[in-house]
Chain A
Amino acid sequence: MVIYGVALLAGCMLFGLWAGDVLGMLLGVESNVGGVGIAMLLLIFLGGYLIDKKKMPPSTESGITFWNGMYIPIVVAMAASQNVAAAIDGGLIALLAALVAVGASFALVPALTRLGQPKPSPEAPVDETPVNQVASRATDDTRSKTTSRSHHAR
């Protein structure tokens, strides 16, 4: 039945958010710590277990996949109810702070993705060590530093 899937999803969410609140309280933080993430892990484990046990008929599954499919429309509704006007009121400081933060974080994605990657070739880990060391110290300077160094060498 469809409601079984929805109920499983709802149960995971309620338990996860509650666990996130408890975790926040234990850490002394006024916020939920990873409640949604805990709920997702729970759904992965419970869902996987039930699939293995052949206890997830298509009708039950559709209770979850419906909400999965509603995700993008919900995100659009979320975008339409953001406080965009307040952000623009915050002016240049707010925009610049956000822009620098987002730019630096984007630049860190490739560096961290390479880190601890299962070795593509036997030489790879030796090659990667210096890159990682630079990357952990500086943020987006990594690329400019390496290029200026290679120019120097030439």
Chain B
Amino acid sequence: MLDSLLTQLEKQHLIAAFALVGAAMYVSYLVSDKLTKGRVHGSAIAIMVGLALAYVGGIYTGGSKGLADISLFAGLGLMGGGMLRDLAIIATAYGVRFQEIRQAGISGILALFLGVIVSFIAGVAIAYAFGYRDPANLTTIGAGTVTYIVGPIAGASIGASSEVIALSIAAGLFKSILVMVLTPIAARHIGLDNPRSAMIFGGLMGTTSGVAAGLAATDPKLVPYGAMTATFYTGLGALLAPSLLYFCVRALF
């Protein structure tokens, strides 16, 4: 009998994921309410629970999709995958007034460029401090710190080793996780409470998943603004890292 229940859960994986996430969110909001008296937002707890489960899943299966690699929870991969995530992000834009976007326009674009460059420099500096000297390797780690998508793109096009590319992906993953966890904590100190700063924040951070989750846990009303600029970041990084930024690194080292 238990077997047939498990078979059903595996077969109806997306529906099982809806039920599982719903239950996880209920428990998280309960914890937020009772244990932290609402000081830590329920969605922030839910996201941290998700990350912890992803770690357990990754250790257990050795796969790359966290808990979604366990066949019982495969639906999580579909529910949290790029397709539905993008659909939900786009849906948050409904009802946003274009005026607010235009006002932050120039600062948003500046934030995009600064964000890519600052993250890149941070990655290169740390890699240099740990003894990397080869320009291709330095650039790849810097690019991975931009986002975990830019790292492999840059690494592949300038010929970095697969070990360094893996490291660059890890840096990007950490960045995304840190943004998810730290944004609700830092929000008050950096004035992240209006559409304008949210757009700048999205442009500076760039990791779509990090920004999406971090803003959701801070104030869901800010999500469309941050997500809007963040979605240009990876493209800009993929444009700059293997070209302009690589030439700069090669000229310096």
- Give A residues with C-beta under 8 Å from B: 9-10, 12-13, 16-17, 20, 23-24, 27-37, 39-41, 43-45, 47-48, 61, 64-68, 70-102, 104-110, 112-113, 115-118, 139
Contacts and interface: CB of A to CB of B under 8 A. Distances in A.
B29 to A, nearest CB: 10
Contacts of A115: 107, 110
A33 B213 CA distance: 21
A83 B231 contact: no
A78 B85 contact: yes
Contact of A93 (B24, B84, B126): B126
Nearest to B115: A105
Contact of B85 (A74, A88, A100, A139): A74
A112 B24 CA distance: 37
Interface in B162-179: 166-167, 169-179
A90 B174 contact: yes
Contacts of A84: 51-52, 54-55, 58, 66, 173, 177
25 contacts: A35-B86, A40-B90, A44-B94, A70-B88, A70-B91, A71-B89, A71-B216, A74-B88, A78-B81, A78-B85, A79-B51, A79-B54, A79-B213, A80-B21, A80-B80, A81-B77, A83-B169, A84-B66, A85-B54, A86-B166, A86-B173, A90-B171, A94-B174, A97-B175, A112-B111
Contacts of A31: 149-150, 153, 234-235, 238
Contact of B79 (A61, A74, A99, A116): A74
A81 B127 contact: no
B160 interface: no
Given A33-B235, A39-B90, 10 more contacts: A10-B87, A32-B234, A36-B231, A70-B88, A78-B209, A80-B80, A81-B68, A84-B52, A90-B167, A108-B204
A30 B237 CA distance: 11
B235 A34 contact: yes
Contacts of B179: 102
A20 B87 CA distance: 15
Interface stretch (B32-40, B185-193, B245-253): B185-193
Nearest to A91: B170
Contacts of B232: 33-34, 37
A37 B109 CA distance: 13
B213 A78 contact: yes
A84 B96 CA distance: 33
Contacts of A39: 86, 90, 93
A104 B191 contact: no
User: Across chains A and B, which 6 residue pairs bring their CB atoms closest together, nearest first?
Assistant: A90-B170, A85-B58, A33-B235, A79-B50, A77-B80, A78-B80
B51 A82 contact: yes
Q: Give the size category of B's interface with A.
A: 35 or more
B189 to A, nearest CB: 8
Contacts of B111: 108, 112
Contacts of A109: 190-192, 197, 200-201, 204
B183 to A, nearest CB: 8
Contact of B177 (A28, A36, A82): A82
A97 B127 contact: yes
Given A36-B227, A75-B47, A97-B171, A83 B64 contact: yes
B139 to A, nearest CB: 13
Contacts of A82: 50-51, 54, 66, 173, 176-177, 209
Determine which residue in B141, B175, B180, B223 has the highest number of CB atoms from chain A within 10 A of its CB, and name it. B175
B216 A65 contact: no
Contacts of A40: 89-90, 92-93, 96, 224, 227-228, 231
